[in-house]
Amino acid sequence: MSIPTDPAWLNWLQSHLASNRFLPAPPSALMSCGDGDFRAIGAEFLGHFVRVADLRPDERVLDLGCGVGRMAVPLTQYLSDKGSYVGIDVGRDGIEWCRQTISPAYPNFRFEHLDLRHPLYNPGGAVETATASLPFPDGTFDFVCLVSVLTHLETAALTNYAREIARLLAPGGRCFATAFMLNPPAREALRRGDGRLAFDPDAEGPELYADPAAALAAVAFDEDHFVEKFLRFGRHRRRPPIYGHWSGRPAPVFQDINVFE
């Protein structure tokens, strides 16, 4: 698959997105999930989508856990009129902000609130995340992204998302998913005390919590356990993962990046 994006142009676009204060950004009251610079992080991930996962401007994108549009805003400057974007999230206020701010200028961008239950982000949700079906027909999307989403779910919900993503991807489609994946190098880095999160490097997996008192604030999975959830529904890694520096190992990104196809 060839990507018609000039590398120099993509570098320019990322720099533009990170510094352009005329692009929309949500009010601080809505920034309840995720830290760091809203525009800079969005620009960074646009680069990953294109360089690592081969996102094309004419593809149909599903952003699972879109929050307040951190991925959507940079994608407005990359996707063409032939492409499309759907963002879904359990947070109603963030979805409303995106509908009011982004969709009027970009009608091929739409946002849907799903009332899925989550102990931290939507404790009163009407639908159990581990059994929910996403409201789209089979093969609807070419590209599905989950950025800092699976780091807040338990195994049952991870498995359900892997099943639904496999159903929703069209032939040739890819899933871009970040995670905290435990493997020997990550555990060793945690033992050195260099990690950004307080996972116990000697705790038995396959699912670990940085803070057991708020379990879903940060969840790590044994790497084989994590990857198997996608393999069981016929999705394998498109390329080797890019490991992050969350554990303290040297790395160019924070969370681990996987691309499944």
Mean pLDDT of 95-103: 97
Kindly state the helix (H) or strand (E) to which residue 141 belongs, with its residue range: strand 141-146
- What's the fold here for domain 139-261? Rossmann fold (3.40.50)
Query: What is the percent of the chain with per-residue pLDDT over 90, rounded to a whole number?
Result: 92
Classify domain 8-18+37-114 by CATH number. Answer: 3.40.50.150
Q: Are 87 and 116 in contact (CB under 8 A)?
A: no
φ and ψ of 22, to 5 deg:
-85, -15
The answer, yes or no, to whether residue 1 has pLDDT greater than 80, is no
Q: Mean pLDDT for the chain?
A: 94
The answer, yes or no, to whether residue 108 has pLDDT greater than 50, is yes
Residue 34 pLDDT:
53
φ and ψ of 190, to 5 deg:
-65, -40
Residue 104 pLDDT:
97
What are the structural domain ranges in the chain?
8-18+37-114, 139-261
Residue 33 pLDDT:
55
The answer, yes or no, to whether residue 2 has pLDDT greater than 50, is no
Convert the pLDDT of each residue in 12-61 to its tens digit: 999 999 999 899 999 988 876 556 789 999 999 999 999 999 999 999 99
Residue 36 pLDDT:
75
Alpha-carbon distances of 108 from 4, 17, 58, rounded to whole Å: 21, 19, 11
Convert the pLDDT of each residue in 195-245 to its tens digit: 999 999 999 999 999 999 999 999 999 999 999 999 999 999 999 999 999
